[in-house]
């Protein structure tokens, strides 16, 4: 055989220019989440943290928190040892909230993705970046500022999927107002399932829509897997001052009953959750 390659073999071998173009087009390699090796900055020492918790216990015990319109949640609080006054106001004895959390909430858990390589740990020394949540408006060069559409939603999910710097697909990356509210949650959850293989969030607007989101996950992951693994998150807001809306409470219970997680936002958004 000749030492020289045939023309067909030479054509099959990529040129240096083609190799460089392929390398530039490939997404940058990045881990599916960040593991912190530097401890977080401590704004408060142990004494300060203890003071914050003591004041929180005092507020919950003396003033209480309203859980409006969810009779089952009220029953569960009573059974746990809380006192209920004025129908919906729950007064939590000192230490009870901490005891419930320590008994039932893990310090760390994994949210499983459709692609196992994209699964992310929540808690511990891990940081997971996700897109912004809940914007009613979208701005682009072609149309400027406008109400979000389902096409916009699809594009944001695809962009988050392609970005190596976002580890999570998010939830309501924009509000697709061109879809009727009664079925909007189905289209949003389906978009995360179809256009990404990263973890995602489900609907939280009503308990029924949360249940729909979980049922869609059972179709995607299998009922047995969903029963034993966290595959979806619900992002739930509280209202200021000291109010948990009954619908939000039912959503939390819906996710918990299916062995799924809920993110309870620890801050107040002006004009949305408070004045």
- pLDDT exceeds 70 at position 23: no
Kindly indicate the confidence band of residue 224, based on its pLDDT and cuts at 50, 70 and 90.
Answer: very high
Kindly indicate the confidence band of residue 7, based on its pLDDT and cuts at 50, 70 and 90.
Answer: low
pLDDT of residue 139: 96
pLDDT digits (tens, 9 = 90+) for 41-86: 888 999 999 999 999 999 999 999 999 999 999 999 999 999 999 9
Indicate whether this model's pTM tops 0.75. yes
- pLDDT exceeds 90 at position 6: no
pLDDT digits (tens, 9 = 90+) for 112-124: 999 999 999 999 9
- pLDDT exceeds 70 at position 10: no
pLDDT of residue 268: 83
SS3 242: coil
Which residues contact residue 200 at a Cβ distance below 8 angstroms, ignoring those fewer than 6 apart? 168, 169, 170, 171, 189, 192, 193, 232, 233
């Amino acid at each position: 055989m000749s030492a020289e390659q045939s023309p067909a073999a030479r054509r099959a071998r990529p040129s240096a220019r083609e190799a460089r173009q392929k390398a530039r087009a490939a997404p940058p390699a990045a881990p599916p989440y960040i593991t912190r090796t530097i401890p977080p900055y401590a704004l408060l020492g142990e004494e300060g943290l203890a003071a914050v918790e003591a004041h929180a216990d005092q507020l919950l015990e003396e003033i209480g928190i309203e859980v409006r319109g969810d009779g089952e949640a009220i029953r569960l609080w009573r059974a746990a040892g809380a006192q209920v006054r004025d129908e919906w106001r729950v007064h939590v004895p000192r230490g009870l909230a901490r005891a419930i959390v320590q008994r039932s909430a893990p310090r760390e858990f994994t949210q499983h993705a459709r692609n196992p390589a994209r699964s992310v740990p929540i808690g511990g020394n891990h940081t997971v970046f996700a897109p912004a949540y809940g914007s009613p408006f979208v701005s682009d060069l072609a149309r400027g500022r406008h109400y979000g559409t389902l096409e916009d939603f699809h594009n944001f999910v695809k962009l988050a999927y392609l970005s190596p710097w976002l580890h999570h697909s998010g939830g309501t990356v924009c509000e697709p107002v061109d879809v009727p509210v009664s079925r909007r949650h189905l289209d949003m959850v389906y978009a995360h399932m179809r256009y990404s293989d990263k973890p995602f969030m489900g609907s939280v607007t009503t308990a029924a829509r949360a249940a729909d989101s979980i049922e869609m996950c059972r179709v995607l992951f299998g009922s047995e897997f969903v029963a034993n693994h966290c595959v979806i998150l619900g992002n739930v807001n509280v209202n200021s001052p000291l109010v948990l809306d009954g619908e939000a409470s039912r959503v939390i219970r819906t996710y918990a009953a299916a062995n799924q997680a809920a993110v309870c936002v620890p801050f107040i958004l002006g004009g949305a959750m408070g004045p």
